[in-house]
Structures are given as structure tokens and as C-alpha cells.
Structure 1
Amino acid sequence: MALFEMKWLRRWMRRNTNPIPEHRAELWKRRLSIGYAVLAWQAFGLVCYMVYTGRNDWAKYYGYKTEEDLALSPAQQFARHLRVEGTGKIIRISGFHKVEEVPFDASEVNQVKE
């Protein structure tokens, strides 16, 4: 079974390209996997460096988040971003237990932004 069931893409590739010898395909597969491993290692090192230097919240570090944004919980930030209207509850769950239940009013959260 194809990954995305794009048989048309497979037919197009086979029709418009020449077959690659197996040894050459294996060589390039090995080269690409080494390149991918190096790239992934560098990305991991960059993330560790950013956390170590205190820039793990890059939006806060570079001034894209205001103090009002930082005062809101992540759930309230997402609700504002999704433009949720009305009132409701924000429920925090840890494992299988309810930790906290906070009332949510979209008008109060949206007033902070405006």
C-alpha cells in the first residue's frame, strides 16, 4: 500500500525518469541519511543552546509578547488566538485527575488585547 495512495505520482515518475542502478541508489541513500543525522544533531544543539542562554521563549526574548500576553495562561492565549466568543470553563487535567477549573470570559481576555 502506498504511503499516500498517490499512484499517479509513481506512474509519472516512472514514465519521466530513468531507472537508477541499485548500488548508486544505496550510495545516495547512505549519504542522505548521514546528512540528515548531521542536520538533526545541529538542530538539537541549537535548541539546547537557546534554552541554556535563556532564549527558549523567543517571542518573549525578542519583544513580540507583551506583558498582557505573558499574564494570560496558555489556554487563554489560545482562546484569544482562536477568537472564542462567550463564556465557559478552562479545565486543567494532570493524568486522569482534574487539577483546576477556572471560569473563562472571552470579553475580559479580548479587552486585554485591545
Structure 2
Amino acid sequence: MALFEMKWLRRFVRRHTNPIPEHRADLWKRRLSIGYAILAWQAFGLVCYMVFTGRNDWAKHYGYKSEEDLALSPAQQFAKHIRVEGSGKIIRLSGFSKVEEVPFDSNTVERVKD
């Protein structure tokens, strides 16, 4: 039995509703798909606008990131966010080749060299 199978919900809905004619269901499926396409296009436009105006890092723009967080590489920020304990390695790749390997210690976080 699948974890998210809710046969009881399907039985409840089918017991308490009337069947929809196929042509009406198809009409509403087309209407909803057009609405979804318009909504997705608007969301894409909003993202492009935010990147174009320089607000693509919204946490930095609205002051939610400290200067300490801005000085870290994205890998170090993520390791700090998920609270990695101990030490490890951050490996930077370009294509299929290894470019850099930086040791990471959660107690002493290294700064990014620009």
C-alpha cells in the first residue's frame, strides 16, 4: 500500500458528488491550463524583473543577511544553515573536473576570497 494513497477520500467524493459530463470536464481542463500558463508566465516575468533591478538576492536586499553571511561562499552558507557538525570538505567542480577542495570546519568558517 502506498503511503499517500487515500482510497477513503476517493470513495467519499464519488459517493457524495455527481459525475461530470466528459465535454464539460474537458472544457474546464482547458480553461484551467490556460489560467495556469498565464500565472506561470507572470511569475517568470516577476523573476526576470527582480533580477534585472538587482533584487535577485532578496534576503540581501531586505537586510536579512548579515555581513558575515555575505562573506561566506554559498557552500559554506548552506553548511552553516543545515548546521553541519565537525569538519569536512567542500569540493568545487567545473564540468566533470575538480577545481578546488576547501576544508570546512563548523567552528571556524573560512571567508570567500574575491
Q: Normalised by the size of structure 1, how large is the TM-score?
A: 0.85
One-letter code aligned to 1:41: W
Query: Is the counterpart of residue 46 in structure 1 residue 46 in structure 2?
Result: yes
Query: Is the counterpart of residue 28 in structure 1 residue 34 in structure 2?
Result: no
Q: State the secondary structure of the residue aligned to 2:46.
A: helix
Q: Quick one: percent identity of the two aligned structures? A: 85
What RMSD over aligned residues (CA atoms) do the two structures have, in Å? 1.6
Q: Normalised by the size of structure 2, how large is the TM-score?
A: 0.85
1:4-36 superposed Cα distances (whole Å, 9 cap, x missing partner): 644333322211211001111111111111110
Query: Shift of residue 108 of structure 1?
Result: 1.2
Aligned twin of 1:11 = 11
One-letter code aligned to 1:31: R
Aligned twin of 1:90 = 90
Aligned twin of 1:112 = none
Q: Partners in 1 of 2:33 and 2:93 — Cα distance?
A: 40
How many residues align? The count is 107
Q: Which has the higher helix share?
A: 1
Alignment of 1:55-94 (within 5 A): 55-94=55-94
Listed as ranges, the gaps of 5+ residues in structure 1 are 110-114
Runs of 4+ in 1 over 4 A off after TM superposition: none
One-letter code aligned to 1:37: A
